[in-house]
Structure 1
């Protein structure tokens, strides 16, 4: 018999017990609704609501306005503001005239702008802005020619005003040279009064006398202009009027060219009271230049050959 011991019989492993069926109390419960405190927090970014944006802007503007008011109160309490308030309450004397002038200038400039059409363009020049180029070209300075010839003695008075007559005879050739004399003895101006005759020496020959006493003004070569410029020192009383020493300018012109041949100052030597007082004469009458003095000043131009 075999002495080897037989192995013990193997015990079969216990089968796993089936898991007990879950009871009603052990059934899984439904997930609870999140509470208000458990709600997710709002993001920190800007809100998409228009009302929220408007509210934020209003808040910022309110803060800016408050800062501005505070700055204004600080500025009003400063020394410059107090000085400005005192200046406004008691302005200096020059303020009102300066402001008035400024208002007038602004008004004038505004009217000028309106005349210009409001477009910022310069308004067309008016007559008071000065002579235009065309006007200056048509009326040159100095003597200017007459379109018509001399017809009567009064036409020669215009030579004293700067007119000349190109068709008149030139101051040239053999003597004598015919002359006409114009006089104005009023300080208010006016045209020169042409003398019809001068008191000249009776010993002159007929050609010389005719040159001094022209019967035909169209043949005059020279015009002498005697112009009162001022009243000098008092001489004497003529009733209720005062006779003063007249101061004159004597000028000599060539009729055909307007060229001035001579000019000098003369004093009235005829210190006699006039028989007739001119209409409109003032309280002072000037003494006049005698024909003798005029003859002495002008004779060399009449008798000298050219």
Structure 2
């Protein structure tokens, strides 16, 4: 990447998602608007000496913004988790299919997604309750299937490996409710993707980032111990939710793109002010 920057110049905008970047790339892109996106439960997954090179840090919750602002004074922050905020209404939408599942969980077959919360809830519900798990990737596929067999609950699995977006949308459309069971998870994109497909969402009330997307129109949140009761309540009152309409009003990508553009423009203004101040100081010294 350093070779690319040397050959073609730094980009107007440099985005770093999640795991970090070598500081030499940030230094070579000093004229860029450099943006970091957390994506996970940690507010900042790079050391402060790397983080200080960013103009903007996108977060998934207020507590993350506060931590970033404490560690990196002067940085611009915005609660703008990329996945759920930039969800596409053209990709996820209702299909009018028969609902053959009560619940769907679209999540990697990994420990932090906490499939156990859903499985334990199903053990407390009528055995007629049917669930679908769609796993794009992860190492726990066989273990999750074995756990379902052990508990004797009705869960079908798709993947891993995963399927394409069209098929994910179709599979979600076969269910009445989508769930998000994780705790130490950045705001999962699936939150608003469920909603755009017309599904209200039951989210773990301990979810670290993303609960701002759960409103009276889009779903409910509950402690894992209360998942069975709240699932039943939601199924009984399914017609009261308006998830797709709520997302289209507030969170789909066109809205977020406007906010993002304003954020980048503010970062550019700040950078221009710094350059002007430095030039003024140089002139004073020359005198």
Instruction: Give me the TM-score of the superposition, normalised by structure 1.
Output: 0.21
Which of structures 1 and 2 has the larger relative contact order (alpha carbons within 8 angstroms, sep 6+)? 2
Instruction: Give me the TM-score of the superposition, normalised by structure 2.
Output: 0.22
CA radius of gyration, larger in = 1
Question: Which protein has the bigger helix share?
Answer: 2
